[in-house]
Structure 1
Amino acid sequence: MLLTGLVVLAGIGIAYIGYTKFAVKDVEGKQIAFDIVDDRTMNIQFTVTRDNPSEPAVCIIRTRSKDGSETGRREVYVAPSDSDTVEITAPVYASKPPAMGDLYGCSTNVPDYLRAG
């Protein structure tokens, strides 16, 4: 009985992980490039594709130093548009010299403080 319960719980856990990792998302971001501007600034270029481009989105981009630690982070507001895919280049300001930049992720759950109003 206990073993059956554990197997059921493990199955539910695996199903949840599979769903969250591989489910179709309503917004997807892809990094294109990054460019070191100076010892405290990096431009990160990325695309955002939305199922419903009339809804805003938010993406988090960040810089990392040579040792891999995060040295800068920024939320980028992606305004509604007519196109499913938009390309954005945005600066991130770092606390230490940046060595690389990446797109952490995107969401349609935009915080109120990022919305124009």
Structure 2
Amino acid sequence: MAESSERNGASLKQQRYGDTNRNMPAKLIVIGIVGMLIIAAAYIFVQMNRVTTPDVSATQAGWSRTEGKEDEEFIFTLDVTREKPEMYSYCIIYALNYDRAEVGRRDVFVPGGGPKTVRMDVPIATRETAVAGDVYGCSTEIPSFLKK
């Protein structure tokens, strides 16, 4: 009789919750987890390589203004350092006013060849008087509008 009540209890449980004995093979679960870990590790490796090793960088080396054109032109001096000087690259630079608002921007093409670090004086057209400038970033992937 005890066996009968256990069976009835089991069938009531099965009616209420459905079949609860669905065991997924343990090997399939382990293979899925290992696969996910391999994909995650590969993604992290690729992202770290993209972010941590810049091919080209630039720093501000100074600035000046063209006399009589203070409201129209800002001359930005930058030092561009390339890992591989033979590669073409470009940088984006910008000029700021007293309120730190951007008043001019320019893409600068850096031809391949020459020394590892190149100093360039680049005029930036501005819409008002600029008092500072900075480098937004650099890359070796030249956009189509800068290609010759």
- Which runs of 4 or more aligned residues in structure 1 lie more than 2 Å from their structure 2 counterparts after TM superposition? none
TM-score with structure 1 setting the length: 0.77
Where structure 1 has 5 or more consecutive residues not aligned to the other structure, the ranges are 1-11
* 1:44-83 mapped onto 2 (5 Å cutoff): 44-83=76-115
Would you tell me which structure has more strand in proportion to its own residues?
1
- 1:35 and 1:105 map into 2 onto residues whose CA distance is 21
The structure with the greater share of residues assigned to helix is: 2
Identity of aligned residues (%): 30
C-alpha contact 2:71 2:127 (8 A) present in aligned 1: no
- TM-score w.r.t. the length of structure 2 is 0.62
Higher RCO, 1 vs 2 (CA within 8 Å, ≥6 residues apart): 1
User: How many aligned residue pairs are there?
Assistant: 102
Amino acid at match of 2:125: Y
Partners of 1:63 and 1:28 lie apart in 2 by 18
Q: CA RMSD of the aligned region, Å?
A: 2.3
Gaps of 5+ in 2: 1-40
Match of 1:115 in 2: 147
